[in-house]
A and B are shown apart, each in its own frame.
Chain A
């Protein structure tokens, strides 16, 4: 069987939902970030698959590089936030950070 576009898309979909599941259900903030990375990487796979099979020349690859850079920046910022959360709440269980509820 030849691996076509569909396989890549299914793969990224599975990765996306796994990452979503992790984001939603994990208590630890770092676990949420790991889920977030999975979602972003699944979006990357989509880009590259379409670049290879979809008729886009190298624009998919460029987009993937943008995503990786942005993911890195965003991870830095997210870690800074998590540090602050730990500084204030002394734990990083996100489901207990609900002071804005009221």
Chain B
């Protein structure tokens, strides 16, 4: 098997869901429930292919850093070719599994959850569209494809959030999500423009090579940082970071499986994935900015989640907080742990949302049973005691709650621990102590509110009759929960339950070397051993291979790029850029566990910070869990009294830090006011001008008409009157009397005689 096969498989994985989408859009209504089986089967095939691709990449082609290809899509001029392509490295291979697995489980879950919906087949076609777009983001190795699929994911999210569009709140939420996303995408686009302008290419490798050879945008490092921050804006929008986090809680209006797929595991992770992908291009200042945004988000969302009473809103803010964790980890240069948390979070957050779906589904059925259509099935104050009525859901929920809180022997513990160690190292090395403080505070709050959710919803007695009528759901609903909670155990990623750095995951996902020249980057990120910069090596390889491929690709410029890529791979005319240069590089660095050598000072600091971070996080998480038990299970501390004592803080947290109100007053209000002003201008002034010209024309035509009437008609009448006058005069000859005629005869006769005789 050759590496190119992997790319062909990746292309197949990408294309299948969009075929499902097209099929279901046109024929779905006719075939009814079969549309869901087709969609689930397609994603199931994708899942198997992803496993195969990942296995090939991680095991068979372990030595090749990235298997990718590039072709020329179109030419801007004779010498300026725009190239695009797809690529699979370890990051993409693992992300493929995450996306297809969660998508498959959500499809399965939805076949039961959306059973009675009137737009059943359209739902599955939208899911297929989303899966296609997300897979496109995963395998893209250039900014152009990434941006295209980025937008596609945004539109899929809009369609799915507003799926029940008869409800005004749902359609509003869809609009909000799309618009807020677009704001982030504006920054992303500006960043892409800066990079394209400077480096003339959209491909990641070209950009990294350009940066590594000290060719900075507009010859200033400030612009390099700015480009990094602009690109990060896309992640701010898509991954719901502060200040663009407002759309994610509203997105809970969509069906719960959609929340699980899009807003927990995959789409919001696209921002984190982007940051991980272009990690080498961030300078020190950009990384600090990213870390701060992530830390602020993590802290803020955790404070809001403490007081929420809607089941899904708690999970939504938890998602925002965990995304903040991931971004914070990447900003603090803890690349491996950031991505690790993305993967583990995908499993347990999807499980949490699907469990909430199971609970809400059961509450709905109970409400229908009792003919109650007014209570809110999502309010946790209506639940309670579900442990007895829905045991399987409860057990899985318990598992994943432990995972998210960072209880040992779960995968969540490993990833969270790693992140906190990374932030400690970062704080130690740079003096930005806010990052680890915010991280630990958020960890404590996470433990508190997650256990609060579980205790209030599942433990104790049934708070209402609805809760007592709930019962466990069918297998297709419970199976994904069980599977995902099992995958939240520790041994999938490392045999060591408390330290993941020896596991296969950490070995497969080493942090990529930064491409930013040493002058603008943290010194602790610079490699210890001065191995040759792989990005500069790529530059040399690039020039040779681009010369070879340019002649072959010019002929294919007009063909559909994907098919061209596949056919060229099959025929073997283009030269895929297999990056073999890093083989040497990896041998130069030792493993972190056994040996003494680390890649750079940062990893050394991280290693040393590991034990303190673990102990601290255990203490804090334990306190959080203990506190929540004392407040809600044993009721030693009264929650109502706490609420009264900290009334201001409680309201501030409950009202989501008043973000929506502030945005409404300033941005939304400002835009609406400006639109009103322009509308007024249009109505009064522009229309006034048009009316004025109409008035002038009318006056002018009035005068012309009069002129026409009086003068021209007068002339005609004059002529007629003259004729009448003459006629009247001449008519007098005709008297009608014979005697007059005799006189004329005599006169005529006399004249004749006179003239002729």
Contact = CB atoms under 8 A, between A and B. Distances in A.
B736 A99 contact: yes
Interface string A13-31: 0000000100111000000
28 contacts: A20-B742, A23-B739, A23-B742, A24-B739, A24-B742, A24-B743, A25-B739, A32-B738, A32-B739, A94-B737, A94-B738, A94-B739, A95-B737, A95-B739, A97-B736, A97-B737, A97-B738, A98-B735, A98-B736, A98-B737, A99-B736, A100-B734, A100-B736, A101-B731, A101-B734, A101-B735, A101-B736, A102-B734
A20 B731 CA distance: 25
Contacts of B738: 32, 94, 97
Contacts of B746: 20
Contacts of B734: 100-102
A76 to B, nearest CB: 18
Interface in B703-757: 731, 734-739, 742-743, 746
Nearest to A26: B739
Contacts of A102: 734
Which secondary structure dominates chain A's binding surface?
A: helix
Contacts of B731: 101
Interface in A70-102: 94-95, 97-102
Contacts of B742: 20, 23-24
Contacts of A98: 735-737
- Chain B interface bracket (under 10, 10 to 19, 20 to 34, 35 or more): 10 to 19
A102 B738 CA distance: 15
A52 B743 CA distance: 32
Interface in B387-408: none
Contacts of A94: 737-739
Nearest to B734: A101
A95 B738 CA distance: 8
Nearest to A100: B736
A98 B740 CA distance: 11
Contacts of A97: 736-738
B741 to A, nearest CB: 10
Max chain B Cβ within 10 angstroms of own Cβ: one of A97, A99, A100, A101: A101
B414 to A, nearest CB: 124
Top 5 A-B pairs, shortest CB-CB distance: A98-B736, A101-B736, A100-B736, A95-B737, A98-B737
A82 to B, nearest CB: 11
B90 to A, nearest CB: 117
Contacts of A101: 731, 734-736
Given A20-B742, A98-B736, 15 more contacts: A20-B746, A23-B742, A24-B739, A24-B743, A25-B739, A94-B738, A94-B739, A95-B737, A97-B738, A98-B735, A98-B737, A99-B736, A101-B735, A101-B736, A102-B734
Interface in A17-73: 20, 23-25, 32
Nearest to A24: B739
A99 B734 CA distance: 10
Contacts of A24: 739, 742-743
A3 to B, nearest CB: 26
A54 to B, nearest CB: 18
B621 to A, nearest CB: 124
A93 to B, nearest CB: 10
B724 to A, nearest CB: 14
B274 to A, nearest CB: 104
A24 B746 CA distance: 10
B279 to A, nearest CB: 113
A46 B659 CA distance: 138
B591 to A, nearest CB: 132
A25 B735 CA distance: 15
A25 B738 CA distance: 11
B661 to A, nearest CB: 96
Nearest to B746: A20
A21 B742 CA distance: 11
Contacts of B736: 97-101
B750 to A, nearest CB: 11
Contacts of B743: 24
B427 to A, nearest CB: 123
